[in-house]
């Protein structure tokens, strides 16, 4: 019998909670434990439901305290990923993250972790969420089907976890929720709801959010409210379409839709990529570089027979 993949979940926030559930539900995986800072563990103990959900699981401040770990799911804010990932790779632990900043920042991270992975003999799968992530795979497939054309990706309406984290980190903000509203043709409006600290200047908070690179390219509205938890909704979605040409045949039209719980889907994709991580050669990978069959549990021959 093949031994189970031992997975550590790093961070027990929006994504981490669902990652624990996804690993527990995977027949070929075993949850090695949850990594959080000591103060976070103390905080969880005051939240009965959250702490009770981890009953019987190991919690630690350092991954070394968990014994053998094959893969670490880094359920941390995107801006912390470049700093912490190499620490795990250096320990001989493969990593999966959901880094959600597109473009040059993503490419630079891949190059950084490609070098580290090869140096330490480990694998890092980056940006393993749904966008970038599974949506990237869909865009790649659509472009292969119609090489000439334009793809539009429209997010929402719903919560953007990455943008919410960025807004929450602004000085003077206690909590934040960023809602993405699709305007069509890949253009979006950001509705950012903030809960302010006592004495904080709304004007300064609003300027800081609107000037942040995550918001500056979109129409952004900042609204102060007394309690973020009163409006929290983790649902989101995407509508993706491509109109183009296959060889010389024009007017090929493809579309893809989904309505999702944002952190739950992100955690599920990360968990599938943990499985793929132990099947790759050392280095760094985005999801479009992975054989899709490596995301699935079970026997490869069986999966080919039932899916092809």
Within-domain flag for 137: no
Same domain, yes or no: 127 and 271: yes
Name residues whose C-beta falls within 8 Å of residue 135's C-beta, 6 or more positions apart in sequence.
153, 238, 240
Are 128 and 266 in a shared domain? Answer: yes
Q: Report, as an integer, the average pLDDT of 7-25.
A: 95
The pLDDT value recorded for residue 57 is: 84
Section 52-77 average pLDDT: 88
Note down the domain range covering 88.
5-132+262-307
Q: Are residues 40 and 115 in the same domain?
A: yes
CATH of the domain at 122: 3.40.50.720
Q: Are 136 and 165 in contact (CB under 8 A)?
A: no
- Residues 83-100 have pLDDT tens digits of 999 999 999 999 999 999
Separation CA 57–CA 286 (nearest Å): 30
DSSP code for 57: S
| pLDDT of 54 | 76
- Residue 220 is assigned to a structural domain of this protein: yes
Q: Are 274 and 219 in the same domain?
A: no
**Helical H runs in the chain?**
14-25, 38-45, 48-52, 81-90, 104-120, 134-145, 161-168, 202-211, 262-277, 300-307
Q: What is d(CA 55, CA 93) in angstroms, rounded to the nearest whole number?
A: 25
Residue 37 — pLDDT band, cuts 50, 70, 90?
Answer: low
pTM check: above 0.85? yes
Quick one: 60 and 157 in the same domain?
Answer: no
Q: Is the pLDDT of residue 220 over 70?
A: yes
Cα separation, 161 vs 53, whole angstroms: 22
Question: Same domain for 20 and 117?
Answer: yes
66 and 107 housed in the same domain: yes
Find, among 65, 125, 57, the residue nearest to 271 by Cα: 125
pLDDT digits (tens, 9 = 90+) for 236-246: 999 999 999 99
pLDDT at residue 55, rounded to an integer? 66
12 pLDDT higher than 80: yes
Residues 128 and 11 in one domain: yes
How far apart, in whole angstroms, are the C-alpha atoms of residue 100 and residue 178? Answer: 15
Q: Read off the CATH number of the domain in which 205 is found.
A: 3.30.360.10
Whether residue 35 lies inside any domain: the answer is: yes
The structural domain count of the chain equals 2
Together in a domain, 244 and 279: no
pLDDT band at 52 (very low <50, low <70, confident <90, very high): low
| Structure confidence at residue 36 (pLDDT) | 82
Specify whether 255 is located in the same domain as 277: no
Note whether 101 and 199 are same-domain residues.
no
Residue 121 lies in a domain: yes
Q: What is the mean pLDDT of residues 249-263?
A: 96
Q: Would the pLDDT of 9 be above 50?
A: yes
104-120 helix and 81-90 helix, angle to the nearest 10 degrees: 10
Q: What average pLDDT does range 289-307 have in this prediction?
A: 96
Question: Residue 50: CB partners within 8 Å, gap ≥ 6?
Answer: 12, 17, 44
Tell me, yes or no, whether 170 lies in a domain. yes
Nearest-angstrom CA–CA distance, 121 and 283: 8
User: What pLDDT sits at residue 47?
Assistant: 42
Distances (CA, A) of 114 to 71, 93, 183, 282: 16, 14, 37, 8
Please give the share of the chain, as a percent, with pLDDT higher than 90. Answer: 88
- pLDDT given at position 39: 46
Q: Which residues are CB-contacts of 259 (< 8 A; sequence separation ≥ 6)?
A: 235, 236, 237
- Predicted confidence (pLDDT) at residue 48 exceeds the cutoff of 80: no
- What's the pLDDT at 43? 47
Tell whether 152 and 215 lie within a shared domain. Answer: yes
pLDDT band at 44 (very low <50, low <70, confident <90, very high): very low
242: in domain:
yes
Q: Max Cα separation, the chain?
A: 64
Q: Residue for token digits 């499985």?
A: 275
Residue 126 domain-assigned?
A: yes
Q: Is residue 60 part of a domain?
A: yes
- Residue 31's pLDDT band, with cuts at 50, 70 and 90, is very high
């Amino acid at each position: 019998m093949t031994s189970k993949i031992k997975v550590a979940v790093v961070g027990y926030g929006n994504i981490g909670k669902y990652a624990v559930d996804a690993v527990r539900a995977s027949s070929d995986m075993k949850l090695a434990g949850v990594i959080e800072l000591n103060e976070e563990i103390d905080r969880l103990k005051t939240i009965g439901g959250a702490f009770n959900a981890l009953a019987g699981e190991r919690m630690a401040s350092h991954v070394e305290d968990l014994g053998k770990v094959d893969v670490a799911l880094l359920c941390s804010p995107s801006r912390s990923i470049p700093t912490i990932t190499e620490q795990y790779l250096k320990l001989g632990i493969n990593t999966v993250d959901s880094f959600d900043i597109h473009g040059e920042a993503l490419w630079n991270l891949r190059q950084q972790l490609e070098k580290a992975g090869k140096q330490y003999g480990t694998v890092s799968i980056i940006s393993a969420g749904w966008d970038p992530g599974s949506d990237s795979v869909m865009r790649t497939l659509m472009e292969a089907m119609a090489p000439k054309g334009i793809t539009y990706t429209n997010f929402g309406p719903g919560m953007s976890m990455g943008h919410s984290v960025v807004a929450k980190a602004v000085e003077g903000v206690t909590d934040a929720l960023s809602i993405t509203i699709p305007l069509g043709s890949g253009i979006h409006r950001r509705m950012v709801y903030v809960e302010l600290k006592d004495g904080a200047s709304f004007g300064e908070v609003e300027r800081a959010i609107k000037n942040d690179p995550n918001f500056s390219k979109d129409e952004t509205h900042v609204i102060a409210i007394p309690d973020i938890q009163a409006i929290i909704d983790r649902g989101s979605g995407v509508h993706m379409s491509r109109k183009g040409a296959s060889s010389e045949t024009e007017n090929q039209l493809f579309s893809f839709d989904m309505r999702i719980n944002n952190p739950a889907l992100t955690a599920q994709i990360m968990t599938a990529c943990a499985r793929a991580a132990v099947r790759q050669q050392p280095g760094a990978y985005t999801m479009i570089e992975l054989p899709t069959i490596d995301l699935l549990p079970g026997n490869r021959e069986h999966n080919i027979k039932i899916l092809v």
